[in-house]
Amino acid sequence: MKYLIFTYGCQMNYSDTERMQTYLEALGFKQAKAEKDADMIIFNTCSIRQKGEQRVIGKMIDMIKLRKKNKNLIVVITGCMVRKSSSRYSETRDKLFNRTKEIDIALRIEELPKLADLIKELNPKIKLPKIEEETLEDYFNITPNYTSKSQAFIPISTGCDKFCTYCIVPFSRGREKSRPMADILEECEEFVKQGGLEITLLGQTVDSYGLSTFDKQEGTFKHLPKGKTPFVSLLEQIDKLYSKGLRRLRFTSSHPKDISDDLIKAIGKLKTLMPYIHLPVQAGHNDTLKRMNRPYTCEKFLTIIKKLRKTVPGIAISTDFIVGFSGETEEEFQATYDLFKKEEFDFAYFAQYSERKGTFASKNLKDDVPKKVKRERWHLINELLKTIVAKKLEKFVGKTLDVLVEFEEKGLLHGHSEHSKEVQFKGKKSLIGQIVTVKILKADKWVLEGEKI
């Protein structure tokens, strides 16, 4: 039996896909090279914007064609579009079964170990091996099949308690829960033992690690020293892996409400922590932030940026903005534009607001910015992004940077610098997975070009 996974959305989904691969291989599945060779096709979905969901539903046309050639094809949808693990024969099924006839299984990713039972519900004749009880308790117990030997994305928490009014994540991923520190450390240690150089810790709001309502009720983090956030304690423990070979530690995303002074100090102090942070602001006007239920002001956000820049000179900062959110006036958009222009972030992800069913905004705030205006605002700010990125990259020309080489494409090696800038240069494929020194010769739109020294 062969499987193929299509992954959409954020790093969290890519990381889940790696765990899914290990699980499927333990069940005896092998990876297919193309759709036509697969007996099971899995869509690991994102529901942050409507377009992403439509893309997956659109792909179902291909499934009709594939099924004509392979009657036993199993189509699975998992990830953020799924609310209830079920098969087409289950008594109560996920609502997705009403949107398309082509799916056989809907799977909540945290219930990954249920996949074997759902496959059997579909076809009782399929024989699958039994998997250890302990692994079945929590899908994080499954050791992932990392795509890269040198870089790993390791989840430290799931879900979100923030309930920003526009966002589907608290509904799709559930309430915020942190993984036990010992489990995360074990995963990090094992990865470094195998030669891993860079770890990126993942969570919707990493800085609230260990502080969610669920974590407090469970009391899992009670033993930690007072005066230090659990996240900083975790970073300090992982940083010790420097002596075993870890060279780079990153995390994403931070939240302006939770980012603490001890975290800012840690970024300046810990050996492995890289001089880069992703800190989504979402809007540059306090009225918009209020409607979004982002519990901070622009002034508070700017104070954090100031502290970060003072503590870690030259730190690279990226952010997220939404344009065209419900009720966004011309003045509010201008304030967002001005904030981005003044602060010159290293990078920013801009999204045009997409109303998501079930969120507070969809029930209470009118999606009243016309599509055309959303598009225009997005283009305006994207033009600004291009100029700022070019200016930021230009500053690296003539400098030498340490680059972790990730892949080769069209004769060029690609990797990222400590500040998370993409760098490309000529070199042998054998350098993939190593940190090399590169002299920067040129800045080209989004990428730095250089030569290995």
Q: CB-wise, 250 or 356, nearer to ligand SAM?
A: 356
173 scored as a contact of ligand F3S (CB under 6 A)? yes
Peptide bond into 87 cis (omega under 30): no
Q: Which does 80 bind (CB under 5 to 8 A by kind): ligand SAM, ligand F3S, ligand SF4, none?
A: ligand F3S
Give the x-and-dash track for 1-20 against ligand F3S (CB under 6 A). Answer: --------xx-xx-------
CB-based contact 348:385 (threshold 8 Å): yes
As a whole number of angstroms, the distance between CA 441 and CA 119 comes to 54
The beta strands (E) that lie in 80-163 are given as 86-87, 105-107, 151-155, 157-158
Please state whether 219 falls in left (phi above 0), alpha (psi between -120 and 50) or beta. left
Q: CB-wise, 171 or 242, nearer to ligand SF4?
A: 171
As a whole number of angstroms, the distance between CA 439 and CA 425 comes to 9
Q: Which does 163 bind (CB under 5 to 8 A by kind): ligand F3S, ligand SAM, ligand SF4, none?
A: ligand SF4
Window contacting ligand SAM (CB under 6 A); options: 25-33, 143-151, 161-169, 396-404: 161-169
Site for ligand SAM in 335-364 (CB under 6 A): 351, 353-354, 356
Other C-beta atoms closer than 10 Å to the C-beta of 239 total: 17
- Which residue from 78, 157, 253, 288 is in contact with ligand SAM, where contact means CB under 6 A? 253
Q: Which does 415 bind (CB under 5 to 8 A by kind): ligand SAM, ligand F3S, ligand SF4, none?
A: none
As a whole number of angstroms, the distance between CA 333 and CA 379 comes to 12
As a whole number of angstroms, the distance between CA 298 and CA 314 comes to 22
| Location of structure tokens 């100031």 | 306
| Location of structure tokens 């002001």 | 297
320 scored as a contact of ligand SAM (CB under 6 A)? yes
Binding site for ligand SF4 (CB under 6 A): 160, 162-164, 167, 169-170, 204-205, 255
159 scored as a contact of ligand F3S (CB under 6 A)? no
Count of residues engaged in binding ligand F3S, rule: CB under 6 A: 13
Please report how many Cα atoms fall inside a 13 Å half-sphere around the Cα of residue 231, on the Cβ side.
31
The tokens of 314 are what?
């030259």
- Which residue from 1, 26, 49, 236 is in contact with ligand SAM, where contact means CB under 6 A? 49
* Crossing angle (nearest 10°) for helices 261-269 and 230-239: 10
The residues binding ligand F3S (CB under 6 A) are 9-10, 12-13, 46-48, 79-80, 168-169, 172-173
The residues binding ligand SAM (CB under 6 A) are 10, 48-49, 166-167, 169, 204-205, 253, 255, 280, 282, 320, 322, 351, 353-354, 356
